[in-house]
Amino acid sequence: MTGELREILRVGQFWFLDGLVAVLLVATAVAGRRLLQILDSSDKRMLGGLACLAAALVLLAPRTNRIFYDEQIYQAVGQNLSDLHLAQMCNDGTVEYGTLQCWRHEYNKQPYGYPHLLSLGYRWLGASESVAHWLNVLVSGATAGAIFLLAFVLTRDRRASGFAAFAFMLLPEQLRWSHSAAVEPSAAFACTLAMLAAACFLDTRSTAALVWMVVSSSWATYFRPEAVLILPVIAAFVLLHAREEVTCPRFLWMLAAWVVLLLPTSAHLVAVRNESWGSSDARFALPFFWNNLRTNTAFYAGDHRFPALFTLLALAGLRASRATTMLVAWFVAFWAVFLFFYAGSYDYGADVRFSLMSYAPLAVLAGIGTSRLTRRLGSGAFAVPLAVPLAVAALAFQFAWYLPWARAVGEEAWGARADVEFAREVARTLPPNAVVLTHNPGMFQLWGINAAQLSLATTDPAYIKETLPRRYAGGVYLHWNFWCNVSDPVQRGFCDRALATLPAESVRERRIRDYRFAFYRVTANRASP
């Protein structure tokens, strides 16, 4: 049953997501036009300026990968969606004559919203790593703009809106991850867009805003597994503040549409429900709670990766209002879900990226808090002149404390980073029509190199010895990569057995610390011309 479900999703998900994005663009254009009508010309200039500034600030961080090898997998899946219109990873593929051809595929456990977004860029610009990195830069600017609009719809306070977007763009981890190819920046944007649409619906009660809310919130669930939490947050907010709308015919029709739009997300979660996600034990359990609670609470209270000033400003923005209820529920949902996850600690490897899902509600609250403080400072008998410029200067000055961290590549995943850099360097020198056996074939396929899974040397040695030499006149190469250096006996075993099975000679080697990376050329069983 699970296999059949995965096959249906593999074949049909591209077309569904293409249609969903098309409807989303139309809904955003219609509802967004009405939203922009409530802004005056100065508001629009501020909105555009803040979005551009947010994208520009991202460039302060180095362009690099920070979560290996997820970023390479997302990009490879995007290439499959672009070239083949199939939701899959390619474990054995040829990249010649301008397109990817896949001989062995696998349905990936990660949701397909972000790879589909990448595929849109690949269709226009071609499949490359730079598309993924620049896409996240643009997404960062779009998120800042969405936060500005969300704060304005909730408060009608232009000062709060500007400070909210400004606060968001000065968060160090936001800068670091927005210049990577990770999924979290786009997932955070999709959730922010859904909350903006929900706020617009509650504000205007228009059909256009209702359609926008349903379509955007559905789209958001296709980015990360926990992104489905945006649905109960929006549903609870609608029930609390617009209960009379729920019984209206138009809402019931849209509720039915909501269910239809969420079918692939639901099917995907069912299809991958038994995935280990890297854990040999329980993925969610109560014993993880206390450690994750301590770590993930301290993160917002003075961690070197997150300015405590923004937390204080967010607390200053709390008040008994509809806006506060919505923002707090949004933050708690995406903060609390990781407390029970085995890898949910922000100190666990590179999992600080999970915190990005909580930044938008905090930024809006910080904007509200900063606006309230500057109004108090600028009024009364002891009014402080130029309170707003002083607040901007204070935030920018405090941001400078975190710039060294934002600009740092970081030591995390140094071995995987060195592996990718070495592999990219060698890939440029391989002869035409060569194929590489590796743990990460999608990475090479994105570079235009034919590649297949190294495990085939164990599971199908005859295919490696007989078929591949006939298909690839440039030779068969074995990539001794990051997974060949780790202590995992399964992954290490694939490497050892491949060398034991395939007579090969070393053609390139590099050592970093105690890791050894190499390329071997298979020398025996070459096919006759």
Q: How far, in Å, CA of 229 to CA of 98, rounded?
A: 40
Residue 280, pLDDT score: 61
pLDDT tens per residue across span 296-308: 999 999 888 999 9
Residue 183 CA to residue 293 CA, distance in Å, equals: 24
C-alpha to C-alpha distances, 158 to 135, 149, 164, nearest whole angstrom: 28, 9, 10
Q: Are strands 475-480 and 434-438 parallel, antiparallel or unpaired?
A: parallel
Model confidence pLDDT, tens digit, residues 339-352: 988 888 999 888 99
- With left for phi above 0 and alpha for psi between -120 and 50, is residue 183 left, alpha or beta? alpha
At residue 358's C-alpha, the angle toward residues 355 and 363, to 5°, is: 120
| Selection from 188, 412, 173 nearest residue 303 by Cα | 173
Position 528 confidence tier, pLDDT thresholds 50, 70, 90: very low
Instruction: Confirm if 5 and 267 have CB atoms less than 8 A apart.
Output: yes
The alpha-helical segments, DSSP class H, found in 156-183 are: 158-169, 172-178
Confidence at residue 529, expressed as pLDDT on a 0 to 100 scale: 37
- How much is the average pLDDT of 249-277? 89
pLDDT above 50: residue 62: yes
| Tens of pLDDT, residues 114-135 | 999 999 999 999 999 999 999 9
Q: Are the CB atoms for 326 and 272 separated by under 8 Å?
A: no
**Sequence-separated (6 or more) residues with CB below 8 Å from residue 198:** 213, 217, 234, 237, 238, 326
In this predicted model, what pLDDT tens digit does every residue of 182-217 receive, in sequence order?
Answer: 999 999 999 999 999 999 999 999 999 999 999 999
Tens digits of per-residue pLDDT, 139-171? Answer: 999 999 999 999 999 998 899 999 999 999 999
Residue % of the chain over a pLDDT of 90: 69
Q: Which residue has the tokens 């903006």?
A: 196
Report pLDDT for 384: 61
- Report pLDDT digits (tens) over 487-496: 888 888 899 9
Residue at token pair 């990475």: 443
Which helix (H) or strand (E) segment is 70 a member of?
helix 70-84
Confidence of residue 382 (pLDDT cuts 50, 70, 90): low
Please state the three-class secondary structure of 85-154 as a single string.
CCCCEEEEEEEECCEEEEEEEECCCCCCHHHHHHHHHHHHHCCCHHHHHHHHHHHHHHHHHHHHHHHHHH
* CA gap 427, 474 in Å, rounded: 13
User: In what order do the strands lie in the sheet containing 515-522?
Assistant: 99-106, 89-96, 450-453, 434-438, 475-480, 515-522, 504-512
Looking at residue 523, its pLDDT comes to 86
Mean pLDDT computed over 441-465: 93
Q: pLDDT class for 225, splitting at 50, 70, 90? A: very high
Residue 410 has what pLDDT?
Answer: 85
The number of angstroms, rounded, from the C-alpha of 306 to the middle of its chain's C-alpha atoms is 19
Looking at residue 33, its pLDDT comes to 87
Taking the C-alpha atoms of residue 216 and residue 195, their distance in angstroms, rounded to an integer, is: 9
Provide the pLDDT confidence category of residue 44 given band limits of 50, 70 and 90: confident
Q: How many CB atoms lie within 10 A of CB 15?
A: 11
| pLDDT tens-place string over residues 470-485 | 999 999 999 999 999 9
% of the chain at pLDDT higher than 70: 96
Distances (CA, A) of 130 to 12, 104, 115, 144: 28, 26, 14, 22
Confidence at residue 343, expressed as pLDDT on a 0 to 100 scale: 85
pLDDT of residue 527: 43
What is the bridge-based pairing of β-strands 504-512 and 450-453? unpaired
Q: Where are the domains positioned within the chain?
A: 2-36+43-69+117-124+126-380, 414-522
Mean pLDDT of the chain: 91
- Per-residue confidence (pLDDT) for residue 433, from 0 to 100: 93
